[in-house]
């Protein structure tokens, strides 16, 4: 029987039928081939991109869909503390919260990971021991990335040695903006190698500094060609961090990359996502752009800290029918 309400089309087509483009390996053969490839990517019309992101933002996610989305979002949070003032106590509290985000409801999913500086990795590992929560470490002279490659690699090795499951590196935006794509590429490859087989690599573009959408598309492909497991918008340390539009653009990139190469890459918007409402909008972007293969914390993350509490309050509201308040979630 027909239900009166909107229904979704069956997903007849999830991937373009285009065969994987032969010879993507050749793309990185030299500086000039890489440049030619990146500059040959389709342009991005900013107004159209932003309009599409805004339009998806009007989706109304209610009741069962909201419950699903809230739990999914919680499970995708990389619960983050990246302060000069971080201490073992702070990181331990964060780890506890990641494992049991809502002490009043043990059915609440754990977050995907905690994200800390390299020197806190060991503490974090201990704090989440026995759970599925991963430990992610920023590295490569985060957030500016203005250090020699040797320093960056040492940073990465230290984090991995301390047990990091994931490494969040920053690209050299200076080199990128100077058109020195091969330098950026080589660094990512080197960091990937330093991660070994044990740590997944997230590549942060600092989209606010790349500034244009064309640059963000090029950086996305550059990162994926170099072996990124995730592409990530930003450090959270600049004025413009994750936005619906730049995340939509990166979702298009991972979708197209898989269609061409068969390799799936994750996406992580970070910084600026503070409310459950916003997070759900990002999940709509994932659902309707990359598709449901990415609706899993193996392939999509939120880099956030305060977001988690809003997700928890909304979750409580959904369960009890009452609006919750900040005193009913933990402040760690």
Partner 1 sequence: MSDARLSVFKTYKLYVGGKFPRSESGRVYEVSDSKGKWLANAPLSSRKDARDAVVAARKAFGGWSGATAYNRGQILYRIAEMLEGRRDQYVQEVADAEGLSKSKAGVQVDAAIDRWVWYAGWTDKIAQVVGGGNPVAGPFFNLSSPEPTGVVAVLAPQESSFLGLVSVVAPVIATGNTAVVIASEKSPLPALSLGEVLATSDLPGGVVNILSGRTAEIAAPLAAHQDVNAIDLAGADEALAKELEIAAADNLKRVLRPQPVDEWSATPGTERMTAFLETKTVWHPTGSLGASGSSY
Partner 2 sequence: MAPAFEYAPAPESRAIVDIAPSYGLFIDGEFADAADGKVFKTVSPSTEEVLSEVAEAGEADVDRAVKAARKAFEKWSALPGSERAKYLFRIARIIQERSRELAVLETLDNGKPIKETRDADLPLVAAHFFYYAGWADKLGHAGFGTNPQPLGVAGQVIPWNFPLLMLAWKIAPALATGNTVVLKPAETTPLSALFFADVCRQAGLPRGVVNIVTGDGRTGAALVAHPDVNKVAFTGSTAVGKEIARAVAGTRKKLTLELGGKGANIVFDDAPIDQAVEGIVNGIFFNQGQVCCAGSRLLVQESIHDELLDSLKRRLSTLRLGDPLDKNTDIGAINSAEQLARITALADQGEAEGAERWSPACELPSSGYWFAPTLFTNVTQAHTVARDEIFGPVLSVLTFRTPDEAVAKANNTQYGLSAGIWTEKGSRILAVANKLRAGVVWSNTFNKFDPTSPFGGYKESGFGREGGRHGLEAYLDV
Nearer Cβ to partner 1 (29/46) = 46
> Do residues 102 and 329 lie in contact, with contact meaning Cβ atoms separated by under 8 Å?
yes
CA–CA distance, 132 with 113 (Å, rounded to integer): 8
Contacted entry of partner 2, partner 1, none for residue 17, CB cut-off 5 to 8 Å set by kind: partner 2
Identified catalytic residue from 125, 192, 202, 232: 232
| Only segment of 15-23, 31-39, 240-248, 291-299 that touches partner 1 (CB under 8 A) | 240-248
Burial (0-12, 13-18, 19+ Cβ within 10 Å), 100 = middle
User: Cα 275 to the chain's mean position, in Å?
Assistant: 16
Contacted entry of partner 1, partner 2, none for residue 240, CB cut-off 5 to 8 Å set by kind: partner 1
Task: Count CB neighbours of 144 within 10 A.
Answer: 15
Identified catalytic residue from 78, 155, 168, 310: 168
Residue 210 CB, shortest distance to partner 2, in Å, is 17
Q: Is 268 a catalytic residue?
A: yes
Residue 329 CB, shortest distance to partner 1, in Å, is 30
Under rule CB under 8 A, residue 240 binds partner 1: yes
Residues 196-225 that bind partner 1 (CB under 8 A): 206-213
Contacted entry of partner 2, partner 1, none for residue 9, CB cut-off 5 to 8 Å set by kind: partner 2
Q: Is 232 a catalytic residue?
A: yes
Residues forming beta bridges with residue 80, ordered by sequence position? 115
Nearer Cβ to partner 2 (23/84) = 23
Torsion sign (Cα): 28, 32, 33, 36: positive
Q: Is 168 a catalytic residue?
A: yes
> Do residues 131 and 99 lie in contact, with contact meaning Cβ atoms separated by under 8 Å?
yes
Under rule CB under 8 A, residue 55 binds partner 1: no
Using DSSP, state whether 24 is helix, strand or coil.
helix
* Two tokens, residue 95: 């780890």
Binding site for partner 2 (CB under 8 A): 1-18, 42-45, 47-49, 51-52, 58-66, 68-69, 72, 249, 252, 283-284, 287-288, 292, 295
Distant-in-sequence, close-in-space partners of 73: CB < 8 Å, separation ≥ 6: 276, 279, 280, 283, 302, 307, 311
Distant-in-sequence, close-in-space partners of 83: CB < 8 Å, separation ≥ 6: 90
Burial code of 272-282, b = ≥16 C-beta within 10 A, e = fewer? bbeebebbbbb
Nearest to residue 46, comparing CAs of 216, 268, 285?
A: 216
Contacted entry of partner 2, partner 1, none for residue 26, CB cut-off 5 to 8 Å set by kind: none
Residue 74 CB, shortest distance to partner 2, in Å, is 15
Identified catalytic residue from 268, 278, 310, 332: 268
* Two tokens, residue 116: 């800390």
Contacted entry of partner 2, partner 1, none for residue 238, CB cut-off 5 to 8 Å set by kind: partner 1
Under rule CB under 8 A, residue 175 binds partner 1: no
Position among 31, 50, 126, 158 found at the interface with partner 1 (CB under 8 A) = 50
Nearer Cβ to partner 2 (116/253) = 253
Instruction: Output Rg (C-alpha) for the chain, integer angstroms.
Output: 20
Query: x/- string (CB under 8 A) for partner 1, residues 8-47?
Result: -------------------------------------xxx
> Do residues 53 and 248 lie in contact, with contact meaning Cβ atoms separated by under 8 Å?
yes
Nearest to residue 256, comparing CAs of 198, 284, 228, 217?
A: 217
CA–CA distance, 283 with 70 (Å, rounded to integer): 10
Residue 210 CB, shortest distance to partner 1, in Å, is 8
Under rule CB under 8 A, residue 238 binds partner 1: yes
Active site residue ranges: 168, 232, 268
Binding site for partner 1 (CB under 8 A): 45-48, 50, 143-144, 206-213, 237-240, 243, 246
């Amino acid at each position: 029987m027909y239900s009166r309400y909107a229904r979704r089309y069956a997903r007849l087509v999830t991937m373009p039928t285009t065969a994987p483009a032969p010879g993507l390996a050749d793309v990185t053969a030299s500086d000039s081939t890489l440049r030619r490839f990146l500059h040959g990517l389709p342009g991005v019309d900013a107004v159209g991109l932003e309009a599409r992101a805004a339009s998806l933002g009007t989706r109304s996610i209610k009741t069962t869909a909201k419950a699903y989305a809230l739990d999914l979002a919680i499970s995708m949070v990389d619960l983050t503390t990246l302060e000069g003032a971080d201490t073992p106590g702070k990181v331990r509290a964060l780890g506890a919260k990641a494992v049991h985000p809502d002490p009043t409801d043990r059915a609440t999913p754990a977050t995907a990971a905690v994200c800390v500086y390299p020197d806190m990795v060991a503490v974090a590992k201990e704090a989440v021991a026995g759970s599925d929560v991963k430990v992610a470490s920023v590295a490569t002279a985060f957030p500016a990335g203005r250090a020699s490659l040797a320093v960056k690699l040492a940073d990465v090795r230290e984090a991995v040695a301390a047990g990091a499951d994931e490494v969040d590196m920053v690209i050299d935006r200076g080199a990128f903006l100077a058109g020195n794509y091969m330098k950026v590429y080589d660094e990512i490859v080197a960091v990937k190698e330093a991660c070994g087989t044990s740590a997944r690599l997230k590549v942060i573009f600092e989209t606010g500094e790349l500034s244009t959408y064309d640059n963000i598309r090029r950086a996305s492909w550059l990162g994926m060609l170099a072996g990124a497991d995730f592409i990530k918008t930003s450090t959270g340390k600049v004025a413009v961090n994750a936005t619906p539009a730049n995340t939509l653009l990166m979702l298009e990139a991972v979708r197209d990359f898989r269609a061409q190469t068969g390799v799936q890459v994750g996406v992580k918007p970070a910084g600026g996502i503070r409310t459950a409402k916003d997070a759900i909008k990002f999940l709509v972007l994932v659902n309707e752009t990359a598709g449901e293969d990415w609706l899993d914390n193996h392939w999509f993350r939120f880099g956030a800290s305060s977001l988690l509490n809003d997700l928890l309050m909304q979750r409580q509201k959904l369960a009890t029918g009452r609006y919750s308040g900040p005193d009913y979630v933990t402040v760690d």
